[in-house]
Structure 1
Amino acid sequence: MSVRPAPRTAWHIAPPAPPGRLPVARRRPDGPPGAALVLTLSIPAIEEERLTAPVRRLLDAAREVLASGDPSVVVTAAPVEPRASAPAPAPARPGLHILVQSRSVLRDGEPLSLTRLEFDLLLHLAENPRRVFTRLQLLTAVWGYEHAGVRTVDVHVRRLRGKVGGEASLVTTVYGVGYRLADEARVTIDRRG
């Protein structure tokens, strides 16, 4: 088995083709004929925090390519035509806002009074959404040891639920397994705050 390096190809980012026409791949001087990647990005003009994780990664990758200053990348901008009116996004429901640096939590803009362990438990669950943790895993991750009784976790979850309140439970019990953050929980984490 032999491995040969792939031939060098030039990348080209071109404006979108007019409606009804396919984009034309143009040859770069240092690339083979027709070797081009035409990439058109249409990213909605909303706050970057509201973009999905894959879109944020794509945007970061595009910024990195543009910042590299590679002469084989050609960038041209084209005005974006507005699409048919999309339904207006639903107003954001208030939720929990975790400020990591100040170790505080805001519910609907109002501060919550949480103990150190309640804060650490909430942060751990919020950092790992949709993941179910056993009581022993939570003791190890949040408390840092396994020597306390596993019912300690139950007590802290009950207290956390009581302090957070709201119409839906923040922490869901997965019977026979442990706990996880509820799917409908609206929690944002701010590592700078």
Structure 2
Amino acid sequence: MSVSPASSRAGWHPSQPAGPGRPPSGQRRPTSTGTPSLTVTLCIPLTNEEALTPPARRLLEAARELLERGEATITAGPQRAEPVPVPRAPARPVPTPAAPALHILAASRSVLRDGEPLPLTRLEFDLLMHLVAHPRRVFTRLQLLAAVWGYEHAGVRTVDVHVRRLRGKVGVDVPLVTTVYGVGYRLADEARVTIDRTG
């Protein structure tokens, strides 16, 4: 059996085998009478069957077999150019803008945020310098009090207050001080800080 390209879009109508109350094969009752029927619409390009995918080739062979056995009929329909879905390229991740950088001028005890002066108090500057000088070390509040304030008699909450103020002045968009819960503070891994000890 051959299927012409003109039948590239067709409705396949499997018929029930003849029996009591059923018409012979090849005749169909209208579906409104309740007779079970299945209509499958296929759109398979027949110009080059070798290029078909294995599932499409198996489906075409099954349809031809049904037709040869007289268990289905073919009805040619109007040919329409169906839009072929074009696979979309995977979305590229949007690059995250780099966080603003801090530049510490050690000699003048000043800090620049993207070139703009950042007003820090003496203790805020000393706290920042101490954390930057030890980038991967975690400090307890008592250690910071001893290293930055020079004494351990002030309340440890003083450290929390100065860390909060330092973060506020630098800006929430600049990763700077990481809280290590239950321990203390350390310089953030993402912090972009450079030190000029001659400036």
TM-score by length of 1: 0.51
CA distance in 2, matches of 1:99, 1:120: 12
1:115 equivalent to 2:116? Answer no
Task: Identify the match of residue 188 of structure 2 among 165, 177, 182.
Answer: 182
The letter of the residue matching 2:179 is T
| Structure 2 counterparts to residues 121-132 of structure 1, below 5 A | 121-132=127-138
Q: What do the CA deviations read for 1:116-137 (whole angstroms, capped 9, x no partner)?
A: 0000000000010011000000
| Corresponding residue pairs, total | 103
- Per the alignment, residue 61 of structure 1 pairs with none
Unaligned segments of structure 2, at least 5 residues: 1-96
Q: RMSD in angstroms over aligned alpha carbons?
A: 1.6
Counterpart of 2:108 in structure 1 is: 102
Shift of 1:92: 7.8
- Tell me which residue corresponds to 2:142: 136
- In proportion to residue count, which structure has more strand? 2
Residues 94-121 of structure 1: CA distance to partner in whole angstroms, max 9, x if unpaired? 4000111000000000000000000000
Shift of 1:169: 3.1
Shift of 1:167: 1.7
Identity of aligned residues (%): 85
Q: Which has the larger radius of gyration?
A: 2
Residue 149 of structure 1 pairs with residue 130 of structure 2: no
TM-score, normalising length from structure 2? 0.50
C-alpha contact 2:100 2:174 (8 A) present in aligned 1: no
Q: Match of 2:170, as an amino acid?
A: V
Extract structure 1 runs of 4+ deviating beyond 2 A. Answer: 91-94
Correspondence 1:1-193 to 2 at 5 A: 94-193=100-199
Distance 2:105 2:133 in 1: 13
Preserved contact between residue 100 and residue 114 of structure 2 (Cα < 8 Å) = yes
For structure 1, the 5+ residue unaligned runs are: 1-90
Instruction: Classify the secondary structure of the residue corresponding to 1:161.
Output: helix
